[in-house]
Amino acid sequence: MAPWDYPDFDDHEGVHLFRDAASGLRAIVAVHSTALGPAAGGCRYWRYARSADAVTDALRLSRGMSYKNAMAGLPMGGGKAVILADEGAAKTPTLLAAFGRAVESLGGRYVTAEDVGISDADMVAVSKETRHVSGLPVGGGAAGGDPGPFTALGVYLGVRAAAKRALGRDDMAGVRVAIQGVGSVGGGLARLLARDGAKLVLADVDTARAEALAAELGGEAVPADAILGVEADVVSPCALGAVLTADTIAALKAPVVAGGANNQLATPEDGWRIHQRGIVYAPDYVINAGGIINVGLEYLGQGDRAEVEKRIAEIPGRLDTIWEESKATGDPAALVADRLAQRLIGRG
Ligand code: NAD
């Protein structure tokens, strides 16, 4: 099937397939939009059941990056790369170099970075073959490096804004926040909230990880399959996508859902479901933009860590704009965010 026949094809500007027989590389780079600048988005190294699933992932994720970068106010478009982690495609320096040459061949239309399965050390290997890389380790005070803590900071500010809107709270003392997944983003969020005296309920499929963090921060750990339905003021999905479904939305007890995971809504209808329950929902690509703001400014050479933090501090204002428009129009926050993003990239 040609890329434009996929359900997730959305007038992508380009879908590029790469093959390097010597290293076993098979990669797809999807460029959704360069209307605002070079198409930026990470590279995922993942084992797909079918190569068609890899194309779908690249199409969907690259569109998401267009929306995320536009809403973050970055002069960057949206793109995404996936490397098929098949038998015979081990993540060797040779394979990463071949991927770097593939990125370079696009002449800067696509800028890569880390995503699932790719570390900053991998990006260093890629950077030997192309300049169009971000998320490289940086010295103190500079923009760039591991995006996780910056994503966590933006999510923290977004959670506070959502708590203010739904609960009228100016501070987080005693506010009960349930976090699903306590890795880089969820763990960072938990630490920031603990400083404010929030009551933490933590869950991770790695139960030891959730228990250790709960013990350290004075929270409570619960089983991973129970977290979305616990009694809480805020539920914060910080693990996988597609966790908000008809069933999990019906079981939510919290008046706020605000977390860092990408693609939290399983379907667009779930945006309506969460809205119809009167839950304040923070659209994921708006609240979790801290990491891309960090690596975007690194690539663009625009400012230092203080500038990154200043831009991340704008996330709550963007969420307020979305919630206000949602209230005025009666449309779900997720739909309002998509509309704003589409307008920004000239597709509204
Ligand atoms: P991570 O791998 O560091 O942490 C994810 C954690 O979730 C792990 O501890 C894992 O064990 C846990 N987990 C997995 N499945 C789970 C489940 N079903 N229930 C509970 N816990 C589960 O990843 P991360 O960097 O923290 O990213 C988390 C989410 O945020 C992902 O959806 C990612 O796409 C998104 N995100 C991350 C960044 C970033 O800068 N790291 C930026 C934007 C979005």
331: in domain: yes
87 pLDDT higher than 90: no
Q: How many residues does the structure list for the chain?
A: 348
Q: How many domains does the chain have?
A: 2
Same domain, 87 and 161: no
Is residue 184 lining ligand 1, measured as CB closer than 6 Å? Answer: yes
pLDDT of residue 145: 84
pLDDT of residue 330: 98
Q: Compute the average pLDDT of residues 140-158.
A: 92
Ligand 1 atom with least separation from CA of 183 = 4
pLDDT tens profile 26-78: 999 999 999 999 999 999 999 999 999 999 999 999 999 999 999 999 999 99
Q: Which two tokens stand for residue 57?
A: 């992932």
pLDDT of residue 120: 87
The CA-based angle 259-264-267, given to 5 degrees, is: 155
140 pLDDT higher than 90: no
Same domain, 180 and 274: yes
pLDDT of residue 78: 98
pLDDT of residue 259: 98
Atom 30 of ligand 1, residue of closest alpha carbon:
261
What CATH number has the domain bearing residue 325? 3.40.50.720
73: in domain: no
Task: Indicate the pTM of the whole model.
Answer: 0.94
pLDDT of residue 329: 98
Same domain, 116 and 154: no
Is residue 326 lining ligand 1, measured as CB closer than 6 Å? Answer: no
59: in domain: yes
Q: What is the 3-state secondary structure (H, E, C) of the chain?
A: CCHHHCCCCCCCCEEEEEEECCCCEEEEEEEEECCCCCEECCEEEECCCCHHHHHHHHHHHHHHHHHHHHHCCCCCEEEEEEEECCCCCCCCHHHHHHHHHHHHHCCCCEEECECCCCCHHHHHHHCCCCCCECCCCCCCCECCCCCHHHHHHHHHHHHHHHHHHHHCCCCCCCCEEEEECCCHHHHHHHHHHHHCCCEEEEECCCHHHHHHHHHHHCCEECCHHHHHHCCCCEEEECCCCCCECHHHHHHCCCCEECCCCCCCECCHHHHHHHHHCCCEECCHHHHCCHHHHHHHHHHHCCCEHHHHHHHHCCHHHHHHHHHHHHHHHCCCHHHHHHHHHHHHCCCC
293 vs 16: CA distance, rounded Å: 25
* In contact, 153 and 125? CB cutoff 8 Å: no
Least Cα distance to 199 among 214, 211, 183, 180 occurs for: 214
Same domain, 11 and 84: yes
Is residue 261 lining ligand 1, measured as CB closer than 6 Å? Answer: yes
pLDDT of residue 266: 93
Q: Compute the average pLDDT of residues 130-156.
A: 91
Q: How far is CA 197 from the centre of its chain?
A: 26
The per-residue pLDDT of the chain, averaged, comes to: 96
pLDDT of residue 335: 98
Ligand 1 atom with least separation from CA of 260 = 30
Ligand 1 atom with least separation from CA of 291 = 40
pLDDT of residue 29: 98
What CATH number has the domain bearing residue 42? 3.40.50.10860
* Structural domain range at position 275: 148-288+316-344
Is residue 68 lining ligand 1, measured as CB closer than 6 Å? Answer: no
Report CA Rg, the chain.
Answer: 20
Amino acid at residue number 284 = D
pLDDT of residue 141: 86
Q: Which two tokens stand for residue 280?
A: 């304040």
Least Cα distance to 8 among 80, 75, 72 occurs for: 80
Same domain, 30 and 121: yes
pLDDT tens profile 225-255: 999 999 999 999 999 889 999 999 999 999 9
pLDDT of residue 40: 97
91 pLDDT higher than 90: yes
Same domain, 120 and 170: no
For residue 180, the CA-to-ligand 1 centroid distance in Å is 9
Least Cα distance to 75 among 104, 49, 36 occurs for: 36
| Residues tagged active-site | 80
Is residue 294 lining ligand 1, measured as CB closer than 6 Å? Answer: no
265 pLDDT higher than 90: yes
Least Cα distance to 199 among 178, 227, 182, 216 occurs for: 178
282: in domain: yes
137 pLDDT higher than 90: no
98 pLDDT higher than 90: yes
For residue 346, the CA-to-ligand 1 centroid distance in Å is 31
Atom 34 of ligand 1, residue of closest alpha carbon:
262
Atom 31 of ligand 1, residue of closest alpha carbon:
261
Is residue 286 lining ligand 1, measured as CB closer than 6 Å? Answer: no
Is residue 205 lining ligand 1, measured as CB closer than 6 Å? Answer: yes
* In contact, 198 and 215? CB cutoff 8 Å: no
Same domain, 195 and 331: yes
Is residue 288 lining ligand 1, measured as CB closer than 6 Å? Answer: yes
For residue 156, the CA-to-ligand 1 centroid distance in Å is 15
265 strand-pairing partners: 244
Ligand 1 atom with least separation from CA of 289 = 43
Instruction: Report CA dihedral (247, 7, 39, 339) to the nearest 10 degrees.
Output: -60
290 vs 37: CA distance, rounded Å: 18
